Amino acid sequence: MAAHAVGRIHATNATVTDEETVLLFNDEDIKDGIEKCSRRTIEAALYAIWSQPIGFKVIDHGGDLFQFFFDNETDLIRIERGAHWLFKNYILNLRRWNEDLEIKDEEFAMVPTWVQLWRLPKQCKTRNLGSKVGETLGSMLETDLFSIRGKEDRLLKAKVMLDITKPLRRSIKISGNNQKVVEVNLKYECIVRNCQQNLEDTAVG
């Protein structure tokens, strides 16, 4: 009774100024809640994406660093060999954990990836242009032209070190001396698999 009455007195005596006051808080005040939501979100999503591996659970170490646990070695190997995985437009760079190492000592930020450059005009399919496009995506490793199975056309690809802390770009606009703008579609091998099966593995000169 007394506690309930006190609550009513405070509500009755509150001024408009009191009710409009905004209570400020920072990320530290809700750190536990953010981590719990983040862990549950990624755990539920990957549990479905990875075909419900037995005993799957996630530990959030902060800084976009997660540790995954599996009861079944077969599930672990299947998922490990399926890299790179994509989650909310970010690459999951998976590494097998060594219990003798501190988790934060592992380097996860960069991953080498072949990027296919689609919708390029024929005259633009050169290694020099491939390098220029690749440099906008990450550190260039190499570039080459590849044949497309069943077609006379060739596909330009660039291999770059991608920073997986950043979202993947889906396209890039280029323009030459004629000032005509061309939008080039970017497809990441082992991440976005469209058309990948139509490519031959042998580079052509």
pLDDT in tens, 117-126: 999 998 999 9
Task: Give the domain extent around 196.
Answer: 110-204
Question: Is the same domain home to 129 and 173?
Answer: yes
Cβ-Cβ contacts under 8 Å for 25 (sequence gap 6 or more):
none
Residue indicated by tokens 């100024």: 17
Please tell me the distance from the alpha carbon of residue 160 to that of residue 113, in angstroms, as a whole number. Answer: 6
Give yes or no for a cis peptide into 84 (omega within 30° of 0). Answer: yes
Measured distance CA(29)–CA(83) in Å, rounded: 36
Q: Do 57 and 135 fall into the same domain?
A: no
In a domain, 161, yes or no: yes
- Tell me the three state secondary structure of residue 39: helix
- DSSP SS3 for 49: helix
Q: Among 67, 57, 58, 56, which Cα is nearest to 104's? A: 67
Write the pLDDT tens digit of every residue in 126-142.
Answer: 999 999 999 999 999 99
**118 lies in the same domain as 78:** no
Q: Is 146 within a domain?
A: yes
Q: What is the DSSP string of 40-103?
A: HHHHHHHHHHTT--TT-EEEE-STT-EEEE-S-HHHHHHHHHTPPEEETTEEE------TTS-G
Same domain, 75 and 116: no
Q: Does 50 lie in the same domain as 133?
A: no
Query: Does residue 61 lie within any of the structural domains?
Result: yes
Q: Are residues 42 and 119 in the same domain?
A: no
Instruction: For residue 200, tell me if it sits in a domain.
Output: yes
Q: Where does the pLDDT of residue 104 fall: very low under 50, low under 70, confident under 90, or very high at 90 and above? A: low
> Tokens representing 193?
């698999």
192: its two tokens: 């976005």
Closest by CA to 89, choosing from 166, 9, 174, is 166
Cα distances from 134 to residues 25, 117, 118, 191, 205, in angstroms, run: 42, 9, 13, 17, 19
Higher pLDDT, 170 or 80: 170
Helix/strand/coil for 13: helix
How many domains does the chain divide into? 2
Average pLDDT of the segment spanning 80-92:
72
Q: Answer whether residue 87 shows pLDDT above 60.
A: yes
pLDDT for 17: 52
On whether residue 1 sits in a domain, the answer given is: no
- Domain contains 174: yes
This prediction has a pTM of: 0.53
Task: Indicate whether 15 belongs to any domain.
Answer: no
Q: What is the percentage of the chain residues whose pLDDT exceeds 90? A: 30
The pLDDT of residue 10 is: 41
Bridge partners of 188, per DSSP, are 115
The reply to whether 87 falls in a domain is no
- pLDDT of 202 over the 50 cut: no
Examine the domain organization and report whether 116 and 53 are in the same domain: no
Average pLDDT, integer, range 95-106: 68
For residue 73, give the amino acid letter: E
- Across 39-65, average pLDDT: 85
**Does the structure show a pLDDT above 80 at 60?**
yes
